[in-house]
Amino acid sequence: MRTLTATLLSILLIGSAAAQSPGKQSPTLHAALQAAAPGERVRAWVYFADKGQGRALPFTERAQARRDRNRVSTDSFDIPVRDAYRSAVARTGAHVKHVSRWLNAVSIDATAEQITHIEALPFVRVIDRVRSLHEPLPTVVRELDRLETQSAPTLPTFSLDYGPSITQNQQIGVPALHDVGLSGAGVLIAMLDTGFNNLTHEALIDVDVLATWDFVNNDEIVSNEPGEAGNGDHGTYTLSALAGYEPGELIGPAYGASFILAKTENTDWERHVEEDDWIAGAEWADSYGADIISSSLGYSSGFTNGEPSYSWSDMDGNTTIVARGADIAASRGILVVNSAGNGGFVSLPQNTLGSPADGDSVLAIGAVDASGTRASFSSVGPTADGQIKPDVMALGVSVVSASPFSASGYLGIGGTSLACPLVAGGAALLLQANPNATNLQIMNALRQTASRAGTPDREYGYGIVNLVAARNRILTGVGAPAASPVAELRLPHPNPFNPTTSIRYDLHQRVRVTLSIFDVRGELVTTLVDEEQAPGAKSIVWNARDRRGNALASGVYLCRLHAGGVEQTRKLVLLK
């Protein structure tokens, strides 16, 4: 898994573009301000140059347990934005909407005049436009008749009566795990969505919801409210597919898990959402201690206000804010499960992915029908930087979900948005089966045991999920530690860096190790380690020089570890 670990990789990418615009403005922001009416406010990111000597915020007990399980050490991602910087931005008259410790930035609503004042602040590095994003939402394929539901066939070999939801569960192996007592109990899942309506539905009334927050309207109500932004029924569909429980009607894979629900999608502008709300929701999930993020939101096109869309070439895991945020979430030990998108097929070299499914460390989910054939709307890869996407597949056609319109109705819904929560729920069963499993182990187990693991491709990824095989891969006994890989490449620190960074890795047995640095073209820069080493934690400092001792220019580099058949890569950003 190639994890994006760079704090403010965006500074490098945006900063180079900003040189083409006045002051610290990115070209996108400059164009938006030029087009804005006098006094009109524009949404923007303000990136700061540093965090000073701040201390990391304390973690909740659950968050610390997740970090310990994934061996995540405290780093700059955990240090909050300096309050003096936030206050100085606010004093210009700009409205500060979200504060992101991951990006060391704040999102604001501000006029051109206020942004000019913000540019003058010495600790501001660059200012960029907050993107508004769009993805086709799932469609109601049919409403399930009550009599049809009651008479739907079930398989007597299973202990639970799934009713018509048997198809979506059996296709990925859920009933077999339910039969051994797994339900997702003890696992905390964060859902980033919108319109969590009708939570008193018979299949949802017993779902264990620990907390809710509406990042669009800044309140605790995540259901629809008259006159407020972000209304819709999308969250009802996805939550019920994942966690609903009404025997004979609908049973979700992780009906026993606990949940925090975040409304992050603003549907007022032709079903658009802004990237800063997604980032804020993901950081909230991290702070609360979520083990899994299930997000059926994918964004690439349909921007409002004349703003240009992302293109297929931007789906490279680095360009969009949500991809960077999702990869940072993964670096905190969270398993990020995201729908691949409903963009359908396109010929190479293009893709139809929606971000953050393009994230290096995101498990992107595509959709199949009941026969296992890829749904025509399911997005295809690969990413622009060559990653296989989608990762795995699950049912996304006529998925049984709770109706938002009645207390006991059910709908058949189509979209990768519904395949995503099925896989997220399955992942919760794997984590319950082995509470010591890391997000990387679960992700790899799902991919390596899927139906096309031997021949992954751009349409199906690694294939349809097989939860029984995935459980067997990571499990030696319920509650027992998962088998550790031979070697694990950790998060380099600092990153971005200048002039040195520490590259860390763990060895679990004596093995020959090769640790090398490559440039983005794949050419070898230098080899740092090439020898047999004993087990233990290792660390080596790289001074940003090539094998001849020459100092390297600013840019993105790849650190690659080979050990005992394991190959892992991390991105490094040299920022002079």
For residues 563 and 529, is the Cβ–Cβ distance under 8 A? no
Contacts of 33 (CB under 8 A, 6+ apart): 25, 42, 112, 115
> What is the C-alpha to C-alpha distance for residues 458 and 344, in angstroms, rounded to an integer?
12
Selecting among 193, 316, 360, 391, the annotated active-site residue is 193
CB 57 within 8 A of CB 287: yes
The rounded distance, in Å, linking the Cα atoms of 157 and 512 is 48
Structure tokens belonging to residue 338: 């995201």
Residue-by-residue DSSP string for 397-465: SSEEEE-TTSSS-EEEEESHHHHHHHHHHHHHHHHHH-TT--HHHHHHHHHHTSTTTTS-BTTTBT-B-
Question: Residue 80, preceding bond cis, omega within 30 degrees?
Answer: no
Please give the single-letter amino acid code of residue 293: I
Give the separation between CA 540 and CA 563, rounded to whole angstroms: 16
Using alpha carbons, list the distances in angstroms from residue 58 to 65, 78, 211, 495: 13, 9, 19, 22
DSSP 35-87: HSPTT--EEEEEEES--TT--PPPPPHHHHHHHHHTTPPP-GGGSPPPHHHHH
Instruction: Sort 24 into a burial class: Cβ within 10 Å, 0-12 / 13-18 / 19+.
Output: buried
Say which of 26, 294, 417, 451 is annotated catalytic: 417
Per this entry, what is the length of the chain?
Answer: 576
Bridge-based pairing of strands 245-246 and 250-251 is antiparallel
Establish whether 179 is a catalytic residue. no
Is 117 tagged catalytic?
A: no
Q: Which of the following is catalytic: 165, 234, 379, 398?
A: 234
Mark whether 234 is an active-site residue. yes
Active site residues per annotation: 193, 234, 417
